[in-house]
Structure 1
């Protein structure tokens, strides 16, 4: 078949599919970690920590009282972090991360510490 998805398009599609699991009303981000052998090692999306009900913490971007604890930023785990934490038993070192938006500084540090060697992000936003 002459027309089929490239590996990069396939893994980015998995990241976008993972983003659809996010309950964040403002931004849905997904991530997919792939090993050197083109096997998926972990996926993640932005959301509250495991075990926290989605309605127990605020999804707001701003607080009426300027209290940062009344916004989502103190609680939400980013897609990149969740993909690293939700990985299967294989090491992600040397792998690639496909993510639906450019990683923040904190996630970039996690990616480096995990040994991920390549980051592919979607530019269209």
Structure 2
């Protein structure tokens, strides 16, 4: 039985929407039989900038709609953190995949594509939606990357 871990739920600075991202690659070793081996490239969760103090930026709860709209200006997305703080480069010749607990937004889709990721595994809860400060329209239009919902 596989255990799925969401680093976004436990580590996120955002108490309402914890998002986690893990990047894996299937490497090819010369002594391998061709089936490859998986290794961790990076992981991240949605959070405020590194070094910020708790409550320095707007939080969000069900009673503060204005803060809900403002927080997106400050949160670093899980995909952005995973790509920025990865432990290994994405190699063109390897099958690199990203697992994200929420559909990538319009800001993250070009970053994932530009990084050379070949597969995205995600949920499709927000795909095609525009939610005031954040949009998920470009995920449906994404080409050249295999998507698994």
Instruction: Specify the TM-score bucket, using the shorter chain as the normaliser.
Output: 0.7 to 0.9
- Pick the structure with more helix per residue: 1
Alignment of 1:1-125 (within 5 A): 4-5=1-2, 13-14=4-5, 16-37=6-27, 38-60=38-60, 62-63=65-66, 71-88=70-87, 90-93=88-91, 94-123=95-124
Aligned-residue offset at 1:124:
7.2
SS of the aligned residue for 1:36 comes to strand
Cα RMSD for the two superposed structures: 2.2
- Pick the structure with more strand per residue: 2
TM-score by length of structure 2 reads 0.65
Q: Which runs of 4+ in 1 moved over 4 A?
A: none
Q: Which runs of 5+ in 2 are unaligned?
A: 28-37, 127-149
Number of aligned residues: 109
TM-score by length of structure 1 reads 0.76
SS of the aligned residue for 2:90 comes to coil
- Structure scoring higher RCO (CA < 8 A, sep ≥ 6) equals 1
Q: Indicate conservation of the 8 Å contact 1:19/1:31, yes or no.
A: no
